[in-house]
């Protein structure tokens, strides 16, 4: 029997928030300011950042620093500062239609939680820039949950904090393999990969996505087609 969804857990940058290379720009500034990636060729460091998109930034920088936690913490702080600078310079935009999609699924009875690998200060700056504070039920960073993606903690914390009745009533969507793996490891009833961000169709499918869609605006239709919504959103 199909379990009707109660909770939608959505990634931010690349999924609901337009990234447009900002994460890589912030990483480059952080690396230049702290030297955290100096122990390896630049292209190797950049490739690691791309592969680990969606994961907790402290974990990414810990790897790049060769396990030096203090260096990773300095680099993470530099990254968050650089990201804020770039957002101030360029502004922040949603993936076109993402806000309306969230409203539609909330109208259909779902709670909506945003998750991210960013620290709360960066996460909240994005929410304020988009005017989304009152749009979603909750926004979570790794520090709020324990571990970042691909661990299941963010998804399970969203379930606990919203009071969803079971993991089968949770849907997860994101643009990285870490998003998909986090949803799978949490036991979510439906996990979607989106092609608006870091990773492509093959990677998202191999990570275990139930569906791979162009962007989150396609999500209500896919969920309705699969009979996962108690109420079908009105377009």
pLDDT in tens, 134-145: 999 999 999 999
The pLDDT assigned to 129 comes to: 87
Q: What are phi and psi of 112, to 5 degrees?
A: -125, 125
What's the rounded Cα separation, in Å, for the pair 164 and 159?
5
> Element (H or E) spanning 198, and its range?
none
Give the mean pLDDT of the chain: 90
What's the rounded Cα separation, in Å, for the pair 128 and 57?
21
Can you say whether the dihedral through the CA atoms of 51, 21, 153, 34 is positive or negative?
A: positive
The mean per-residue pLDDT over the stretch 80-95 comes to 87
Binned at pLDDT 50, 70 and 90, residue 3 comes out as confident
What is each CA distance from 131 to 68, 136, 221, in whole angstroms? Answer: 37, 10, 25
The mean per-residue pLDDT over the stretch 153-178 comes to 96
The mean per-residue pLDDT over the stretch 67-93 comes to 87
The pLDDT assigned to 233 comes to: 65
DSSP state at residue 10: E
The mean per-residue pLDDT over the stretch 82-104 comes to 90
What's the rounded Cα separation, in Å, for the pair 71 and 82?
16
Q: What are phi and psi of 149, to 5 degrees?
A: -65, 150
pLDDT in tens, 6-41: 999 999 999 999 888 888 888 889 888 988 888 888
Q: Tokens representing 40?
A: 């390896």
Length in residues, the chain: 235
Higher pLDDT, 67 or 186: 186
As a 3-state breakdown, the chain gives helix, strand, coil percent values, each rounded to 5, of 50, 10, 35
> Element (H or E) spanning 17, and its range?
none
The mean per-residue pLDDT over the stretch 142-151 comes to 91
What is each CA distance from 173 to 28, 78, 88, 89, in whole angstroms? Answer: 27, 28, 27, 28
The pLDDT assigned to 100 comes to: 95
The residue among 17, 132, 33 whose CA lies nearest residue 25 is: 33
The pLDDT assigned to 184 comes to: 98
């Amino acid at each position: 029997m199909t379990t009707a969804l109660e909770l939608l857990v959505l990634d931010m940058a690349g999924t609901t928030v337009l990234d447009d290379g900002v994460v890589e720009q912030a990483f480059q500034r952080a690396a230049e300011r702290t030297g955290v990636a100096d122990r390896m060729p630049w292209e190797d460091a950049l490739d690691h950042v791309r592969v680990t998109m969606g994961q907790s930034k402290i974990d990414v920088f810990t790897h790049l620093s060769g396990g030096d936690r203090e260096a990773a913490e300095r680099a993470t702080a530099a990254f968050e500062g650089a990201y804020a600078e770039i957002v101030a310079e360029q502004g922040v935009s949603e993936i076109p239609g993402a806000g309306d999609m969230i409203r539609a699924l909330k109208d259909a009875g779902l709670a909506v939680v945003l998750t991210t690998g960013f620290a709360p200060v960066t996460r909240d700056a994005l929410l304020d820039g988009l005017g989304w504070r009152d749009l979603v039920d909750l926004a979570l960073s790794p520090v709020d949950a324990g571990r970042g993606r691909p661990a299941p903690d963010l998804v399970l914390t969203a379930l606990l904090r919203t009071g969803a009745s079971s993991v089968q009533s949770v849907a997860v969507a994101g643009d990285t393999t870490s998003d998909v793996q986090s949803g799978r490891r949490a036991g979510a009833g439906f996990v979607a990969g989106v092609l608006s961000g870091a990773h492509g169709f093959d990677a998202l499918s191999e990570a275990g996505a139930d569906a791979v869609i162009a962007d989150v605006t396609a999500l209500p239709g896919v969920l309705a087609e699969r009979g996962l919504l108690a109420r079908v959103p009105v377009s």
